[in-house]
A and B are shown apart, each in its own frame.
Chain A
Amino acid sequence: MFLYKNISLYKVSLAIITIILSAIIISCSEESDPVAPQEDHFEAIGVVLYNSGIELASILRGETNDTLHAPLGEISDHFEVKFYNEDETIIDPPGTEHQTLSWEIADTSVAEVWQHPGEEGGFEFHLKGKKVGTTTLELFVLHEGHRDFRSGLFPVKVVE
């Protein structure tokens, strides 16, 4: 009952089965692309900025009373980034090379972030004022392309 009745029918069947099996094999080979890893996410609820051990500003649960200042046309003091964990204890930044600092400035014509050459992505930065005005800065911990953490908005003021 299951036997093919003639050779032409056999050829047609074989061709179709070959095509579909080929499609399956091709599609299966595309499935080997690994899923982005999840491990070692960094968890925090706030940021503290220091300069030589002196606290300059902090933001906790997205709220801050501090404003960062950047001199016009010049590089600001050094900002060292630390974090608050869920117990509001200050912790060091993540230590792996896969987790880096990134940021967004709302109006990049007012100010920009500057890092020392060779230290890009590290948890230290300076601000550089480009024109007098105000904008906001949000800091992120970037991990394999994902944002593990976002700080909320720091006001930034550029003065002469």
Chain B
Amino acid sequence: MLKSNIRRFRFIFTVYCALMISLFSVMNIYGMNYRTLEVNFSGIIIDLESNEPVEGAAVHILENDLFSTSDKNGKFNFSEIEEMIYSVEISHVAYKTKKITIDLSDQRDRAIIIYLEPKTIEISQIVVSTEKPRTLFEDMEESSNVLKGRELEKALGYNLAATLKNETGLAIRSMGPAPARPVIRGLGGDRVVISEDGGKTVDLSATSADHAVTVETFSVERIEVLRGPQVLLHSPTTIGGIVNVVRNEIPTERQNNITGNIGGYWETANSGLLGSGVVTVPVKNFSFRGEFSHRHAGDISTPIGTLKNSYSDNLNMSAGAGYIYDFGVLGFSYRNYELDYGVPGGFVGAHPGGVDIEMIRKQFNGKFIYNFESGLFENLEADFSRVYYRHKEFEASGNIGAEFRILDYLGRVQLNHRQIGFLTSGSTGISAEYRDFNIGGLVFTTPAKLLNLSAFLFEHFTTGNFHYEFAARYNIDKIDPLHKIYDDKLGQIKERNFSTYSFSFSTMYQLSEVVHFGANISKSSRVPTIEELFSRGPHLAAYSYEIGNPNLPDESGLGVELFVYHKFSNFFFNFNLFRNDINSYIIPRNTGEKNYQTFLSVYQTSSVDAVLQGFEGQIEYSPYDFFTISANISYTSGKYADNSKNLPQIPPLKSTLELKFSYENFSVSSGLEGASSQRKVDDFEQPTSGYIILNSTAQYSFQSGDLIHNISLNLDNIFNKEYRNHLSRVKSILPEAGRNVRLTYKMFFVL
């Protein structure tokens, strides 16, 4: 019985086992088949405007209710999901929600790139991320005065000024293609501060038209034009502005992956070639960043010939490291910038063959950020820079005609606070600069030392529908010339001391969620530069004999601005009216005389009372998702206050109009760029004719694996129109560049 039962049990067990094995086998087979029916779906979410990864975006697969969130590098991943066609919704508080359909039914893993468009809606105090605008003022600044991502790649020009040339309110002062500098609302020189990651760029570009800006634009992340109260955090000249280039040279954020980009461009107008690479490597709590670029450009071709001696060669390298911990950041960086370029000659007062310039800037930066976990203060930022700048101007024979050397030390401490009473946010701090300025060659200007000490305050607050920003700055400047002598042209050369103050107050009234009115009133100050005080002698590459004025007072301006700002999902416009009354406006004026030792035109620095006023506006309208029309216009009038005669070097009315078609990752745009004639000129200044030129751009982005590729094709001045920039010192010999084709490629990687 037992044996029978055992046999029966054995049979049943054997059958059971066989069935189970079969079942397992079938399940296994099905299982294997099931896995073959599973695919991986991953991707990277990118900001449509900035090309930066979007962190914290929610990726929702609607069919099976699966969620993933993009990491710091914009990456998300779904593993082993059933192959089929899915609807995916991507949402983020700062971006428009996007729905896409993804076909995973072909048994292949998918990695895609998803572009999110930043929201263009009302935001008052929404803090969407540390990198997004936090206040209405910042939102307006971001909308109208920032170039980044693909827009930056599209606008990319020969240099910083050329890249910004179509921005509202900006013009270019130049002396050939390489030495060019932005001018804001007719104000140039050091009334427009150029900075990198918030730190002042030390070079001599503000002092003379032949001196280039030592900033390479291809490797930057964004360029922002700052105006209003926030300017006083860095500079006392609030009626001008700041052009800030953002690179994050010292990494301040921890990341999980190696990121970077490599790219380059080729263009026809000057046979220009550029190669560039940027990489950021995280190692535990450290983040290291390296950057390299090399640009070569030959003489530029114009519709009526080649502008001889307009070449340039640039080598740019930097290395930075940041130690990022709970307390904050400790970091430093080193940059080496070298630029050789030609200043064209061949016009009255110029050397026939032009002048060659070699310049180098070596800069060491240190940064410390300490974050307070709680309490009134948010963080403490401290920055230090040591800059060595030198440039030599060579005659055609190879002899040095002029030489300039700067050794500059800059330090800055800023304390940022959280809400205190009615003050929503704000900063206060001190800064210092010590400059040792040496001059050699055929320039008789005395070497000098400069010391600047400043204290500043910036606050933001809101009451009801009113938003306010206020800033103040107090400066002490000491300029100490090496040779305190009596000079027959300048008079007594002596030490100068200045104490000046500036303030700026902005208010914006929120009429509705999308319409805002505002006003700004600013008291600006500026002390004369060493060159304005003590210049005396020929300036080889500027083709001028410069005579300063050791008795110049400080420049003081009162600026008033009214603006209206409208921002809706498909419509944006911004219109500004401004007036700046400037006492002791310091300008070098062509006296009409010649120096008969050198046969150069004599430019005498003088201070006059001046009024600069004008308007600027920009509009962007997207009636359909695929189509956008945008335009801007800028106008400045500059007059001497006492006789209403015209100031020199005032840009003419300028405007742009662009139509843009976009489909998925492809866009094409065409636009007109033009300026009116400028007949309102100073004595001995040449008028300039107006012009309109046609430009066009096509851009395409695609992803392969972890790489994102951006390609831009620009056609500039398509009809090869002859036109001249009123603010160009060489406009009398040759016009601006002729037809130009530029092909730009940039590849972003996240490893």
Contact = CB atoms under 8 A, between A and B. Distances in A.
Contact of A61 (B325, B444, B596): B596
A150 B598 contact: yes
A2 B329 CA distance: 11
* Secondary structure of the B contact surface, majority rule: strand
B224 interface: no
Contacts of B501: none
Interface string B368-398: 0000000000000000000010100001000
A43 B488 CA distance: 12
B400 A36 contact: yes
Contact of A62 (B395, B439, B596): B596
Contacts of A62: 594, 596, 599
Contacts of A61: 594, 596
Nearest to A36: B440
Contact of A24 (B288, B364, B488): B364
Given A20-B321, A24-B334, A62-B596, A38 B400 contact: no
Interface string A111-151: 00000000000000000000000000000001101111110
Given A45-B596, A61-B596, A145-B400, A13 B323 contact: yes
Contact of A13 (B286, B334, B362, B596): B286
Nearest to B333: A20
Nearest to A31: B388
A54 interface: no
B285 interface: yes
A16 interface: yes
Contacts of B336: 27
Contacts of A46: 596
B188 interface: no
A35 B401 CA distance: 12
A66 to B, nearest CB: 17
B443 A38 contact: yes
B63 interface: no
Interface in A14-58: 16-17, 19-20, 23-24, 27-28, 30-31, 35-38, 41, 43-46
B321 A150 contact: no
Contact of A147 (B319, B332, B399, B596): B399
A13 B284 CA distance: 11
Contacts of B597: 43-45, 148-150
A23 B439 contact: no
B599 A20 contact: no
Contacts of B288: 16
B113 to A, nearest CB: 33
B286 A38 contact: no
A143 B441 CA distance: 9
Q: In this complex, which of B286, B441, B537 has the most chain A Cβ atoms within 10 angstroms of its Cβ?
A: B441
* Secondary structure of the A contact surface, majority rule: mixed
Contact of A27 (B283, B285, B388): B388
A16 B440 contact: no
B599 A36 contact: no
A60 B319 CA distance: 56
B286 A16 contact: yes
B442 A148 contact: yes
A6 B390 CA distance: 42
A121 B597 CA distance: 19
Given A62-B596, A148-B442, A35 B321 contact: no
A40 B438 CA distance: 17
Interface in B254-307: 283-286, 288
Interface residues of B, number: 40
A12 interface: yes
B286 A35 contact: no
B9 interface: no
Interface in B340-385: 362, 364
B724 interface: no
B327 interface: yes
A12 B388 contact: no
Contacts of A19: 319
Q: In this complex, which of A17, A27, A60, A143 has the most chain B Cβ atoms within 10 angstroms of its Cβ?
A: A27
Contacts of A12: 283-284, 286
A7 interface: no
B625 interface: no
Contacts of B488: 86
Contacts of A31: 362, 388, 390, 407
B285 to A, nearest CB: 7
Contacts of B395: 147
A61 B286 CA distance: 65
A20 B441 contact: no
A142 B334 CA distance: 39
A1 B364 CA distance: 25
B608 to A, nearest CB: 27
B442 A147 contact: yes
A46 B598 CA distance: 11
Interface string B478-493: 0000000000100000
Contacts of B642: none
A144 B31 CA distance: 88
A35 B390 CA distance: 9
A93 B606 CA distance: 34
B326 interface: yes
B286 A150 contact: no
A67 to B, nearest CB: 20
Contacts of A30: 362
B540 to A, nearest CB: 9
B555 interface: no
A15 to B, nearest CB: 10
B325 A38 contact: no
Given A1-B327, A146-B401, A9 B388 contact: no
B443 A23 contact: no
Nearest to A16: B321
Given A35-B405, A38-B443, A20 B334 contact: yes
B291 to A, nearest CB: 14
A125 to B, nearest CB: 19
Interface in B488-502: 488
Contacts of B469: none
B325 A1 contact: yes
A156 B87 CA distance: 88
A152 interface: yes
Contacts of A36: 400, 403, 440-441
A110 B691 CA distance: 46
A38 B439 contact: yes
A72 B443 CA distance: 40
A157 B403 CA distance: 38
A148 B395 CA distance: 13
Contact of B284 (A9, A60, A142): A9
Contacts of A1: 325-327
Nearest to B326: A1
8 contacts: A12-B284, A28-B388, A31-B362, A31-B407, A35-B403, A43-B597, A147-B395, A148-B597
10 tightest CB-CB pairs across the interface, nearest first? A36-B440, A35-B440, A146-B442, A61-B596, A145-B399, A45-B596, A27-B362, A36-B441, A35-B438, A36-B403
Given A19-B319, A61-B596, A143-B442, 4 more contacts: A37-B440, A62-B594, A62-B599, A142-B399
